[in-house]
A and B are shown apart, each in its own frame.
Chain A
Amino acid sequence: MRRVVRYLILLAFFVLLAGPLVWQLSLSLKGAGDDLYAQPPQLVPADPTLGNYGGVLDRVPIPRYVLNSGIVALLVVAGNVVGASLAGYALARLRFRFRRLVTGLFVVALLVPIESIIIAQFLLVRSSGLADTLLGVALPTAIGALNVLLMRNGFQSIPDELEEAARIDGAGVWQRFWHICAPQVRGVMTVVAIFSFVGAWNDFLWPLIVLSGEENYTLTLGLNRLRGTFYSDPRLIAAGTIIALIPILVVFGFLQRYFFRGLQAGGIKG
């Protein structure tokens, strides 16, 4: 009985959380004969077609934009996993003067509203000669304060005995980090990786401001081309968004296995 209730609730959440995506899928398959504004909305297309996907691929050089978005996402994920882990480790497990102050700095950075610094960020990127480059897009978010604090949290939950044992055996900082502590927080690292990837992949306003040459456009910028000045077709936009979702689903699906494997790996918990 309990199982039934449990699965009923889970099903309800599934409808709530995944349903709207199904609607987008439906929209992307609707043909010219479907009235999009019909009330009530019709889930099954009356005039199904794959033409919208073709239309998107015609108008927008999807492969190149996917590559660009991929480069930016790669830079951001690498930066965050490496940079935030290093910093999180230092804040959680190394003792030094000003540790509290530096932690405070990251907390302060967390509170700063992005909208109030975006132009200043652009001016900075531009004066470094990085305007209109993918590096310029990736750099400001390459290491996020939130990720640093998440990693710090992760490292803090490692029991002291583990590191003490290593210290007694003569392990230096780097060895303790690489061999003992980092493997313990694989789960959190995966979380950081996923968050960074999604954030970088879906970002619109910042790449728009930094990039001016079309060759460098990320996928979100490219997909917005589907909204013409003179008319807009929701079907194309729906097809485009489905296309934009696929890499994320692939990455997440792939990482998810490692994520849960990491959780089960244990360590001192045996």
Chain B
Amino acid sequence: MTVRQTHDRWWAPWLFLAPALAVVVTFILFPFANTLALSATDATLLKPGRFIGADNFVRLWQDDRFRVAMTNSLLYVVCVVPIMVAAPLVLAALVNGTTRILSFLRTAYYLPVVMSSVIVGLIWTNLLDSRGLVNNVLQWAGAVDSPVLFLSDRWLTLFSAMLVTVWTGLGYYMVIYLAAMAGIDPALYDAAAVDGAGPIRQFLHVTAPGVRATSALIGLFSSVSAFRVFGEVYVLTGGTGGTGGQDITVTMLIQQEGTGLQAETGYAGAISVVMFVVLGLLLAGQLWFQNRRASR
């Protein structure tokens, strides 16, 4: 056992943590506590509310729109997360290297990440329109007879939004994977090559396991942000939440009910609470699953 020769002061960790804690507690945790309190009232934006207990939650249970929103948000997680864990890794593996071309490509792939959601929305709305580029190509190739309603059919719209999410997320997670891949010992690759493994085998047996911690982290992050999806669906549906409001997500519901002059901040607070609980369950579930795998 090594003898430690310096003792850290007890207040050292807290000093390090102070700025981050100050910002996060003041600007996130505290307002959220406020929201929690609001969820038990009938407050609107301009009028303080009276305490109404669990009435908001009862109303939520009976609200059709909430049911639709939950379905959409959960579907989003189920469909998007697997892609977001796997695809950027493949891309990172392909684009890893030091040549000029690869360097250029890495930057190019990151471009969608840096565009603001408004721009991205406009671009894709144009592309996916019934006479837009995508439909033109499909019809020219003979794959469909009449335009595909990417932006009005309920399920197609959701699918299109997922496409946009993946499009903007590929570069984002690719960069994180690249950073993680840099930590893999090159000797492992050499050993695999000696054993006769080609690039695909090397990827499956060296790269993928080597970034497992990062994959897990990305799984967590992307499921949280998938459940919280807002921008893509908002812009693709033109702010409406789809035909008949059928593509609305939980975050959109919060935005619709909680902002604007007639905001019902109490009701929106209740939705936020439910959302928070579901997210907590999602996280806990993933962590439990990962712990089981790790302990095998």
- Tell me if B75 is interfacial: C-beta within 8 Å of chain A: no
Query: Which of under 10, 10 to 19, 20 to 34, or 35 or more describes the interface residues of A?
Result: 35 or more
* Residue ID in chain A nearest B186 by CB atoms: A269
Contact B179 A16, beta carbon cutoff 8 Å: no
A17-B167, A18-B108 are known contacts; what are 7 more A-B pairs with Cβ within 8 Å? A17-B112, A111-B280, A113-B254, A115-B272, A191-B179, A202-B114, A269-B185
- Tell me if A258 is interfacial: C-beta within 8 Å of chain B: no
- Tell me if B156 is interfacial: C-beta within 8 Å of chain A: no
Tell me, in angstroms, the Cα distance from A107 to B26 when the chains sit together: 15
Contact A21 B111, beta carbon cutoff 8 Å: yes
Contact B108 A86, beta carbon cutoff 8 Å: no
Interface-lining segment among A49-57, A60-68, A135-143: A135-143
B residues bordering A, Cβ < 8 Å?
2-6, 8-10, 12-14, 16-17, 19-21, 23-32, 34-35, 45, 91, 94-95, 98, 103, 105-120, 122-124, 126-127, 131-133, 136, 167, 170-172, 175-176, 178-179, 182-183, 185, 198-199, 213-214, 217, 221, 224, 228, 230, 251, 254-255, 258-259, 263, 265, 268-269, 271-272, 275-276, 279-280, 283
Contact B176 A191, beta carbon cutoff 8 Å: yes
**Cβ distance B280 to chain A, nearest Cβ, rounded Å:** 7
A20-B107 contact in complex given A148-B20, A168-B2, C-beta closer than 8 Å: no
CB neighbours of B178 from chain A (8 A) = 263
**Secondary structure class of chain B's binding surface, majority of residues:** helix
CB neighbours of A82 from chain B (8 A) = 19
CB proximity to B under 8 Å, residues A96-129: 96, 99, 102, 105-113, 115-121, 124
Contact B23 A252, beta carbon cutoff 8 Å: no
**Secondary structure class of chain A's binding surface, majority of residues:** helix
Per CB-CB distance, the 7 closest pairs between chain A and chain B, nearest first, are A87-B20, A120-B31, A202-B116, A117-B31, A116-B272, A90-B16, A263-B182
